[in-house]
Amino acid sequence: MPAPVDEQQRRRALLLTGRTQGTLRLALFRCLSYRQIGKPDQFRQYRPALTQSDYRGKLMIDRIASARMARALLLAVLASVTLSGCLSAKMYVDPKLPTVSKTDIPVVPTPQPVQVLFEFRTKGNANVKATTQMEPRILSVASASGLFSNVSTAAQANPVGTLKITIDNIPLTDNATAKGFGTGLTFGLAGSMVTDGYVYTAAYTRAGQTTETTVKHALYTTIGNHSAPMGLTAMQPLDAIDTAVDQMTWNALKQLADKHAFD
């Protein structure tokens, strides 16, 4: 029985990928080889003596060959890029988390300054690069919320409240684990889809009293031309991550405010 159409396309893509990589390596090797031969002084002792006319002719031939190999290399690179373009990733933000803005945040009569301590983690381990990239968004939402008179990451001379935030990225690989983050979407759609769960923990401490809350969120990533989660709009990866971080921060601050943490 012949393979299904999708399977045939997959095999053809893999075959083309292998051919492209082989062509790229071969073209690069030949190009470098011809460039090496084109040098007049290197390895001269191993070649028979050439007249000036012979040498010019050979040099011209070498240059033509080198140009041909360079064109072959360029074509191989273009083919590789074209093929990889079909394998681009698209991200989608889970729609379950409520949309929260400043108008949803309770008004604090006397906002106090706050020191924000933020850390991003991947599977429980500190991720310094992600922490540095996402910290400005955390501070921006905290400042826009109106809950604090001043937002800073530096320690203050006078005792102030401390807002400690951690985001732990937990890849979800099966439906059993995903139940805590599920949104009723149809898993197992045709194609490859990866789900990343995020556990956002925020704890506000002032005058020895701590109030804590947890927010869960998720992002979906599809590879290539595979189907998107039903009803969701594709986003660029960085935009999707920024959106998720903003949503989690707004929700966490609202939940803390609802618990009267800032009164």
- Output the domain CATH number for residue 179: 3.30.160.150
Mean pLDDT by 10 residues, the chain (263 residues): 50 42 42 41 46 57 58 46 55 95 94 96 95 97 96 86 96 52 40 87 96 97 81 92 97 97 93
Tally of domains within the chain? 2
Q: Is residue 219 part of a domain?
A: yes
Residues contacting 165, CB < 8 A, separation 6+: 116, 117, 118, 119, 138, 200, 201, 202, 203, 249, 252
Q: Is residue 129 part of a domain?
A: yes
User: What letters, b where the CB count within 10 A reaches 16 and e where it falls short, cover 74-84?
Assistant: eebeebbeeee
Q: Is residue 263 part of a domain?
A: no
Residue 111 has a pLDDT of 94
Residue 250 has a pLDDT of 98
- pTM more than 0.85: no
Residue 132 has a pLDDT of 96
Supply the range of the domain harboring residue 210.
89-258
Q: Is residue 153 part of a domain?
A: yes
C-alpha 94/C-alpha 96 separation (Å) is 6
Query: Using one digit for the tens of pLDDT, what is the confidence trace for 2-41?
Result: 445 455 544 444 443 444 444 444 444 444 443 443 444 4
